[in-house]
Amino acid sequence: MPPKKDAGKAQAKKPKEGGSGGKAKKKKWSKGKVRDKLNNLVLFDKATYDKLYKEVPSYKLITPSVVSERLKIRGSLARAALKELESKGLIKKVDAHHAQIIYTRNTKGGDDAEE
């Protein structure tokens, strides 16, 4: 008879382990990440405009987001600036997407010969 009692105790313990029995510690809410507010330029000042013409054509990958981040200008201003650089022949368009346009530096050797 004693072996039967041991088996009964073992069965009584199993449901507790498998189920959600007992009080679990409540998950605390995370504080979340705090981002610094970007204070990007809405219009070009002389220094930034000169930097645009001097540095941007030498970048290997040129997108509005890259230009915006490096020159600390708004995305809309970066898009307009890249259109201007393309019209002057300093950079060339690689691919256009509905949200993002990708440019690359203009190589000195013939542009059409590459493709």
Average pLDDT, the chain: 81
With respect to CATH, is domain 46-114 assigned 1.10.3720.10? no
Instruction: At 51, list the tokens.
Output: 């930097």
Q: What does the alpha-carbon distance between residue 93 and residue 82 come to, in Å, rounded to a whole number? A: 10
Question: What phi, psi does 104 have (nearest 5°)?
Answer: -140, 165
Phi and psi of 27, rounded to 5°? -75, 130
pLDDT in tens, 57-94: 999 999 999 999 999 999 999 999 999 999 999 999 99
Could you state, in order of their start, the residue ranges of all structural domains in the chain? 46-114
User: Which pTM was predicted?
Assistant: 0.62
- With beta carbons less than 8 A apart as the criterion, state whether 25 and 59 touch: no
- Helical packing angle, 46-55 and 64-71, nearest 10°: 130
